[in-house]
Amino acid sequence: MQLDEVAKWKPFVPVHGDPIDLSFLDAHSITYIHREDGKADLEYTFFVTYSFHCFAKDYSDLTDAERLALMYHAPKDSRPFCYNRYNLARRYLRPIIENLHTAAVVHAGYGSYAATEIITETGERAWYYVPFKVYRERKKYRLHVTSAYLINEAPGNAKVGFFKIAYNLRMGKKLPSRKR
């Protein structure tokens, strides 16, 4: 399927060091199955893409030389590579997206949603904010992850069920929005 976002990420090549693989962020599809007692299963297959904001960030304390050495050029923009965001994405991002149907999904504003909670390797609860948008493109369901980063505390935004989002998308209804 021709996608409106990057389908295959090229490696980051630091000035000094080996290339860093980003293929775990390549476009892929996921089928979520909604099972309810007494009802037929509903399947939703989403084509998933990721923004380079999942592994890049421009820190204000970088010197021009540091910024240049870390620069990653994506088709639509350029930003410095961020090792922290990269390591978090490599470890947690794909499993979060694969399990959105069981995740704590919240309204993220601007027509976006976000999955937030992770359990770290040490068993601690952390808040990894993963905003995403869903839409239809050429009669297919699309999910685009717009960013991914740690936050200090749980977001206070209202929760929304992922299957409610998917069902509304399927039926051509307005997507769930934040109640004001």
pLDDT, one tens digit per residue, over 46-105 is 999 999 999 999 888 999 999 999 999 999 899 999 999 999 999 999 999 999 999 889
State whether the Cα torsion 28-46-151-72 is positive or negative. Answer: positive
User: What's the pLDDT score for residue 120?
Assistant: 81
Using a 10 angstrom Cβ sphere, with 0-12 exposed, 13-18 middle and 19 or more buried, the burial of residue 112 is middle
Q: Which two tokens stand for residue 70?
A: 């870390």
Report the pLDDT value the prediction gives residue 22, as an integer from 0 to 100: 98
Q: Write down the pTM of the prediction.
A: 0.91
What tens digit of pLDDT does each residue of 100-121 get? 999 889 888 878 889 888 888 8
The whole-number pLDDT of residue 132 equals 95
For the cut 80, the answer to whether the pLDDT of residue 178 exceeds it is: no
Mind listing the pLDDT tens digit for each residue in 29-48? Answer: 999 999 888 888 999 999 99
| Mean pLDDT for the stretch of residues 152-169 | 89
